Structure 1
Amino acid sequence: MNTLDQLVYCSRSQLAPDEEAAAMADIVHVAAFLNARNGITGALALQDGVFVQCLEGSPTALDILMLHLHFDERHEEIEIVARGRIERRAFPAWGMTAPTLGRCDALSRLITQRSDDLIAWRDAMSALLTEPA
């Protein structure tokens, strides 16, 4: 049986506001390729100067990816806020996806609280992805 984990991390953006859109497009483009190769799916948001990423994959693949993320100079203060076993992926079609830069009040609350409620993070990310631009 293949074990599947989901994790959510937050990190402080080091991007200037005028760099955000291009950086997000670059991150999604590169991550979609690399994550597909490593069996990782997920979603990424940038809100209030904080990156939020929900990742799904094998525990080992996620651990390795988290190590690599510490070398990305676009962010700092990486904190895993929630992690747990899941039975199926919430973002199965995406090696990585991101909404257009927008706001989600539920996501803002979770960022402020640094909640460990994996389901709440997943629901907020899903809502942000399905909201019309």
Structure 2
Amino acid sequence: MNLALERVIYISESTNPDPALISLADILATSDRNNRRDDLTGALLVNGGRFLQVLEGAHQDLNRTLDRLQRDGRHRDIQILCRNTADHRQFGQWTMVAARISPDHKTEMDQIIHLSSTAPQEAADRMLALVQQQAV
């Protein structure tokens, strides 16, 4: 069994074009409960109808979570932007933290998405900075 720490960054589309705050609260509560159980940490950025998420944890726990996300009807078109081993938890203080990104941050979110496939660590660093500024 491989217990090495991994970091996954993925993007998906909401099935609801404007996820309401109550919907986001439900997503965060469910994620927090599941991530505590599975020893996962991470962050979720929400911009309009798009989700950008970082998850950190053991290989098998990430696989189980990604399988569950594929069946989650609240979003579709999940694209894994990168999946790498990590030497530490970048989002270790959060089982799940979220940031609701204003239209002013759309360019930054697009840049993070673009970076994640070529420079995943830089993308994760920028996500961390953005989440710390905008966390709910």
TM-score normalised to structure 2 length: 0.86
Deviation track 1:62-117 (CA, whole Å, cap 9, x = no partner) reads 01100000111111000100110111101111111102443353222233x37412
CA separation of 1:98 and 1:66: change in aligned 2, threshold 3 A: same
Instruction: Give the gaps of 5 or more residues in structure 2.
Output: none
**Residue 23 (structure 1) shift:** 1.5
Q: Tell me whether 34-43 or 19-28 shows the greater mean CA deviation.
A: 19-28
**Aligned-partner SS, 1:131:** helix
Counterpart in the other structure of 2:121: 119
Moved over 6 A (4+): none
Counterpart in the other structure of 1:25: 25
Counterpart in the other structure of 1:10: 11
CA separation of 1:74 and 1:14: change in aligned 2, threshold 3 A: same
Over the matched positions of the two proteins, sequence identity in percent amounts to: 30
Number of residue pairs aligned between Structure 1 and Structure 2? 131
Instruction: Give the gaps of 5 or more residues in structure 1.
Output: none
Are 1:104 and 1:124, in contact at CA under 8 Å, matched by a contact in 2?
A: no
**Aligned-partner Cα distance in 1 for 2:106–2:133:** 9
**Residue 121 (structure 1) shift:** 2.1
RMSD over aligned Cα atoms = 2.0
TM-score normalised to structure 1 length: 0.87
Residue 130 of structure 1 aligns with an amino acid whose one-letter code is Q
- Aligned 1:6-85 pairs, distance under 5 A: 6-17=7-18, 19-85=19-85
